[in-house]
Amino acid sequence: MTSIYDKYTEDLSAKVIESVKEEAEKQKLSSADVKKVLDRAKEEYKKAMISPGEAIGIVTAESFGEPGTQMTLNVFHFAGVAEMQVTEGLPRLIEIFDARKEPQTPIMEVHLKPAYTKDEKTIKKVASLIKEMTFNELSSEFSINIIKGSVESVLDNKKMKDYGFTRKYISNILTDQLKNMEIRESKRGFIFVLKEGSENLSEVYRMKEKIKDTIIRGIKGIAQVLPTLKNNKMVILCGGSNLKEVLQLEQVDENKTKTNNIFEIANVLGIEAARQIIIEESLSVIEKQGLDIDIRHILLLADLMTSSGKISGITRGGIMSEKESVLARASFETPDVHLVNASLVGEEDKLKSVIENVILNQPVPLGTGLPGLVAKMKTGNKND
């Protein structure tokens, strides 16, 4: 039975073959009938394919542009999953396609290994391990002793008890992280002095800020944690993102955990993973807005944005600057810059693409303008 399908793997997409197979089994078709179906499918598949010279980029732009106008009218672009803020709609779409370095609301979706998702208590415990906790949160008071040039802190005993920290534990972490300071325990908290001694006051102030920001527990950059149910599985949503360090935790399922920061994904998981997250993120925005854009357009955009090995946005600094033609670049934004720079180095325009030929009033290499005519000459018979 499988041999019939094998013949068609070259001509047909695996998805088409798969669905024909499924339907054939349901209808109990004979192999001759299956062959008929496949031949017909092949015919239709060929018709549906994009012909060479089709301007797919323009079609993609239009397909995004038209639904995009409707998105603009929707004013509420922020949605709250419980207490967490998420950018949605047009601002998020712009963020993705412009390839902004940091999303407005970085969110990480942390999946846990099955052993840690059994009951709520363990999940909460893991969540508290991820959440960033600074020394500031554990202290009730900071004061500066101007004469001695030292910073004195007062510990919040109630919080210490709640989180189950001991003084010894905290002091160990502090000495480990603040290497240039001398730390002494006092009656209510700690006293910090710079080892080399400090002369001016601003240095002491800076020291105070540094002490406040010392991370006692958790992962840097993660301000919020929220265990939620997603697709019948418990995940921890994190406000703030630090993929590299979260993946190091042993409780975390390192194969599923992801973030919405595209650049972070590219750095940790590579450019192909970044392409995948661009697709997933933009698709989820579009679907949440109730719009319907064919996924092939998104695939094209994602391929284009990652084609140079780095992520480049659909901006004048991104894919537009990768264009070969001077006129094409100048026709997008800041024409004077491009034209002046090109003339300074004597750049050549080969007029291979569309927009420069439009500017020069020539046939564009698109559709029927793409192929040239080739005449087959008779050869051999004449004496030359």
Cβ atoms of 369 and 360 within 8 Å: the answer is no
- Based on CB atoms, which residue is closest to other proteins, 250 or 384? 250
CA distances (Å), 99 to each of 83, 163, 261, 344, 375, in order? 26, 39, 10, 30, 47
- Based on CB atoms, which residue is closest to other proteins, 69 or 255? 255
Q: How far is the CB of 266 from other proteins (least distance, A)?
A: 8
- Based on CB atoms, which residue is closest to other proteins, 268 or 291? 268
Residues constituting the chain: 384
Q: How far is the CB of 267 from other proteins (least distance, A)?
A: 7
- Based on CB atoms, which residue is closest to other proteins, 208 or 258? 258
| Gyration radius of the chain over CA positions | 31
Q: How far is the CB of 78 from other proteins (least distance, A)?
A: 26
Q: How far is the CB of 258 from other proteins (least distance, A)?
A: 6
Contact residues toward other proteins (CB under 8 A) are 13-15, 18, 244, 247-248, 250, 254-256, 258, 265, 267-273, 276-277, 295-296, 299, 303, 306-310
Q: How far is the CB of 114 from other proteins (least distance, A)?
A: 16
Q: How far is the CB of 271 from other proteins (least distance, A)?
A: 6
Q: How far is the CB of 298 from other proteins (least distance, A)?
A: 10
Q: Give the span between the Cα atoms of 11 and 41, in whole angstroms.
A: 10
Alpha carbons within 13 A on the beta-carbon side of 147 = 0
Please state, as a whole number, how many other Cβ atoms lie within 10 Å of the Cβ of residue 96.
Answer: 23
- Based on CB atoms, which residue is closest to other proteins, 181 or 236? 236
- Based on CB atoms, which residue is closest to other proteins, 254 or 333? 254
Q: How far is the CB of 282 from other proteins (least distance, A)?
A: 13
CA distances (Å), 250 to each of 117, 130, 246, 253, 280, in order? 13, 11, 9, 8, 26
DSSP states along 100-163: -SS-SS-EEEEEB-GGGSSSHHHHHHHHHHHS-EEHHHHEEEEEEETTTTEEEEEE-HHHHHHH
| Spatial CA neighbour of 175 closest among 139, 128, 135 | 135
- Based on CB atoms, which residue is closest to other proteins, 258 or 329? 258
Q: Give the span between the Cα atoms of 276 and 265, in whole angstroms.
A: 10
- Based on CB atoms, which residue is closest to other proteins, 198 or 312? 312
| Spatial CA neighbour of 188 closest among 140, 141, 148, 155 | 155
